[in-house]
């Protein structure tokens, strides 16, 4: 209420000041800034993968199999991070892997966010049997360890990158449903919702236009953290041979494909894992930063 009153007095600056306030809170944490910078770099790398990578990701240079990275004595500047067992350039495959991983994160988080928000709104708005059915189903899904649930879904759909994304979307779903429902329950009793209803807004408008925007903060945080679990789970599925299939340059399946060479050529194993770690770390840093910036309880 107080904020609204202030905004009325100085209307044009409202949007900008909300952003500035958010940015001030977010940029206080060095970790959050590092996370943001890393994520931006990864997105650029993914967008321009074709331009940036020195070689095509699936081109096999048969004379250069298992070439060590450039800083080794036997390495060459042509293959900066070395080559894999069939002579493909590690760096190019890792760069194209960035594109895949971010895409996996984006698609699975989007699917489960859209579905989860819809189910959560339904459960929180209509209550009763709808709520019980939806929430019990989510409880069942939460009872299974995430990777096991993903494996069960892949067992039904069959292995592959697309099915892995569906599996991960299903695994992430209960978190969004619960968050949305809880937020809706908290918001639905407030005065602005009642006044909107009296003004004649129907249930769809009330759910999506009136209530939803006020539940956005926890969902944004959860979506960011969802990216990191999606990328991690996709890599685990790829590693187990249930996700992306060779020769797709996906980090987890790259790791699995190089396992037998771990003693002779450690770089084929270390770099893909490092790529996963850095990406997941970046999203976690960003998610933590967003939570601290958006969580009103921690604001001073």
Whose Cβ is closer to other proteins: residue 151's or residue 215's?
151
Nearer to other proteins, 171 or 215 (CB): 171
Binding region for other proteins (CB under 8 A) out of 65-73, 78-86, 188-196, 263-271: 263-271
- Distance CA(55)–CA(78), nearest Å, equals 9
For residues 128 and 8, what is the distance between their CA atoms, to the nearest angstrom? 39
- 146-175 residues in contact with other proteins (CB under 8 A) are 146-148, 151-152, 154-156, 158
Other beta carbons within 10 angstroms of residue 127's beta carbon come to 14
Out of 137, 182, 185, 201, the residue judged to bind other proteins by CB under 8 A:
137
Distance from C-alpha of 264 to C-alpha of 261, rounded to nearest angstrom: 5
Q: Which residue has the tokens 């809170």?
A: 25
CA distance 243 to 157: 11
**Residue 69 or 252 with smaller CB distance to other proteins:** 252
List all residues 6 or more positions away from 139 whose beta carbon is below 8 Å from its beta carbon.
Answer: 174
Tell me whether residue 54 or residue 145 sits nearer to other proteins (CB atom). 145
End-to-end CA distance of the chain: 18
Instruction: Tell me the window of 21-29, 66-74, 144-152, 211-219 that interacts with other proteins (CB under 8 A).
Output: 144-152
Binding of residue 6 to other proteins (CB under 8 A): no
**Size of residue set near other proteins by CB under 8 A:** 42
Query: Can you list the pairs that 268-273 forms with residues at least 24 positions away whose Cβ atoms lie under 8 Å?
Result: 268/66, 268/82, 268/84, 268/85, 268/90, 271/81, 271/90, 271/94, 272/94, 272/97
169/206 with CB nearer other proteins: 169
Q: Does 240 bind other proteins (CB under 8 A)?
A: yes
**Kind plus residue range of the DSSP H or E element containing 130:** helix 128-143
Cα 84 to chain centroid, rounded? 28
Interface with other proteins (CB under 8 A), residue from 81, 119, 134, 276: 276
- Contact between 72 and other proteins by CB under 8 A: the answer reads no
User: Judged by CB under 8 A, which of 83, 228, 248, 253 binds other proteins?
Assistant: 228
98 touches other proteins by CB under 8 A: no
Query: Residues in the site for other proteins, rule: CB under 8 A?
Result: 31, 136-137, 139-140, 143-148, 151-152, 154-156, 158, 228, 232, 235-236, 239-242, 252, 255, 259, 262-263, 266, 269-270, 272-273, 276-277, 280-281, 284-285, 288
């Amino acid at each position: 209420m107080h904020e609204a009153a202030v905004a009325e007095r100085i209307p044009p600056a409202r949007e900008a000041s909300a952003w500035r306030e958010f940015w001030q809170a977010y940029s206080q944490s060095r970790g959050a800034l590092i996370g943001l910078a890393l994520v931006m770099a990864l997105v650029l790398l993914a967008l321009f993968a074709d331009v940036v990578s020195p070689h095509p990701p699936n081109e096999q240079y048969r004379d250069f199999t298992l070439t060590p990275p450039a800083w080794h004595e036997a390495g060459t500047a042509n293959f900066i991070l070395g080559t894999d067992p069939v002579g493909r350039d590690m760096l190019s495959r890792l760069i194209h892997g960035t594109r895949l991983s971010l895409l996996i994160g984006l698609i699975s988080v989007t699917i489960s966010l859209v579905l989860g928000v819809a189910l959560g709104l339904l459960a929180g708005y209509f209550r009763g049997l709808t709520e019980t059915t939806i929430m019990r189903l989510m409880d069942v899904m939460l009872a299974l360890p995430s990777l096991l649930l993903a494996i069960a879904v892949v067992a039904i759909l069959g292995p592959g990158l697309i099915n892995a994304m569906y599996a991960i979307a299903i695994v992430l779903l209960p978190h969004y449903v619960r968050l949305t429902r809880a937020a809706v329950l908290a918001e639905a009793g407030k005065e602005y919702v009642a006044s909107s209803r009296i003004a004649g807004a129907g249930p769809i408008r009330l759910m999506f236009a009136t209530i939803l925007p006020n539940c956005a903060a926890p969902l944004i945080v959860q979506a960011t953290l969802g990216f990191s679990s999606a990328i991690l789970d996709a890599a685990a599925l790829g590693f187990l041979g249930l996700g992306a299939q060779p020769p797709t340059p996906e980090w987890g399946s790259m790791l699995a494909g190089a396992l037998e060479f771990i003693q002779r050529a450690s770089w084929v194993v270390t770099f893909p894992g490092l790529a996963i770690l850095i990406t997941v770390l970046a999203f976690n840093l960003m998610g933590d930063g967003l939570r601290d910036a958006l969580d009103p309880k921690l604001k001073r």
